[in-house]
Amino acid sequence: MSIIERLGIAIDTKDENTMKELLHDDFKFTMHASGNVLKKQDVIDWAMSDDIKRDKVRILYENEEVGIEHAFVTFSDGNVQAVMGVYMFKDGQVIAMETGATNLPKA
């Protein structure tokens, strides 16, 4: 199973230990839509909350260096975004992730 698949399952099932295993200690998550940069524990805390629900997740490409994923994300406030994520890997872990998002009409 790929790194992105394993991380996606960990997020969807709130498997904190697997998230800790797959995210590098120097992990940074850059959200270009907001300009925010989150660190490893910030992302784990967010994933463990009930703020995000991912649908129609597709891994478009993945090798040992990078991965690209697209998903529709619904937030607890009702906002919906189409999110493109680019993952960078180091030593079998995610070292960085950057996303671009397009706002969609609320469901």
**pLDDT band at 59; cut points 50, 70, 90:** very high
pLDDT at 9 over 70: yes
What residues contact 99, with CB distance under 8 A and at least 6 apart?
Answer: 29, 30, 31, 32, 33, 83, 84, 85, 86
**pLDDT band at 32; cut points 50, 70, 90:** confident
Q: What single letter denotes the amino acid at residue 7?
A: L
**pLDDT band at 35; cut points 50, 70, 90:** confident
Q: Give me the pLDDT at residue 107, please.
A: 67
Give the containing element (helix H, strand E) for 93: strand 93-104
Ramachandran angles phi, psi of 51, nearest 5°: -80, -30
Q: Tell me the per-residue pLDDT of 16-25, one tens digit each, with 9 for 90 and over.
A: 999 999 999 9
Domains recognised in the chain with CATH numbers: 3-104 (3.10.450.50)
